[in-house]
Chains A and B, each alone.
Chain A
Amino acid sequence: AQTVTQSQPEMSVQEAETVTLSCTYDTSESNYYLFWYKQPPSRQMILVIRQEAYKQQNATENRFSVNFQKAAKSFSLKISDSQLGDTAMYFCATVYGGSQGNLIFGKGTKLSVKP
């Protein structure tokens, strides 16, 4: 079974600084996708970034980038130039070919950006 582990329940960062959120996963699948979702207090999950396991190049989306280490089954999220609006819960998730598109989430990391 696929599992996703986020070992940092809470983190904080000063505005304009850089922060890295950790995620590890376990899978026996050969291809899969990894995601980072943001959940602000409004509760609506928003996709931040995605990574296909077959692609060695790390995905980037503006201030957000990932460090994908396939052999180590690690998928960390780096947020550069942190902004107050980045304050939210961040969830790491995965989906694989046989999962019918069902996302498997970690427990989340609460990020607070301080002014």
Chain B
Amino acid sequence: EAGVAQSPRYKIIEKRQSVAFWCNPISGHATLYWYQQILGQGPKLLIQFQNNGVVDDSQLPKDRFSAERLKGVDSTLKIQPAKLEDSAVYLCASSLGRVYGNTEAFFGQGTRLTVV
């Protein structure tokens, strides 16, 4: 079974530029999450999708971050314009349903973003 695919693995941009990350979840997984992991901290949820609908985006900085999940499969996360404090690893995860009980979240390898 293929895992969660993310690209690119690394990205370096200058502040005020825009950047996009792509995630392909495990086939059949209805729930998709984007987490932000700043160096020295644990991952923090940015946005959660159930199929192609947003379940929770309360911690997404909507003035600069946007995300979409077209057709309930692939997802893209965009930052425009980027700030220095956006430097982090962006992790995508997917699960059959919401994580609870025996439902497990599977993570991709993340995209390491450096804003200079």
Q: B-contacting residues of A (Cβ < 8 Å)?
A: 4, 33, 42-47, 50, 52, 91, 93, 95, 97, 100-103, 105-108
Residues of B within 8 A of A44 (CB): 3, 107-110
Residues of B within 8 A of A107 (CB): 40-42
Residues of A within 8 A of B104 (CB): 47, 50
- Total A-B contacts with CB atoms under 8 angstroms apart: 64
Q: A-contacting residues of B (Cβ < 8 Å)?
A: 3, 31, 33, 35, 40-45, 48, 55-56, 89, 91, 93, 95, 97-101, 103-105, 107-110, 112
Residues of B within 8 A of A47 (CB): 104-105
Given contacts A101-B103, A102-B33, contact A45 B40 (CB under 8 A): no
Residues of A within 8 A of B89 (CB): 43
B40 & A101 in contact (Cβ 8 Å cutoff): no
B42 & A100 in contact (Cβ 8 Å cutoff): no
B108 & A101 in contact (Cβ 8 Å cutoff): no
Tell me, in angstroms, the Cα distance from A105 to B100 when the chains sit together. 15
Q: Looking at A46, A47, A97, A100, which has the most chain B CB atoms within 10 Å of its CB? A: A100
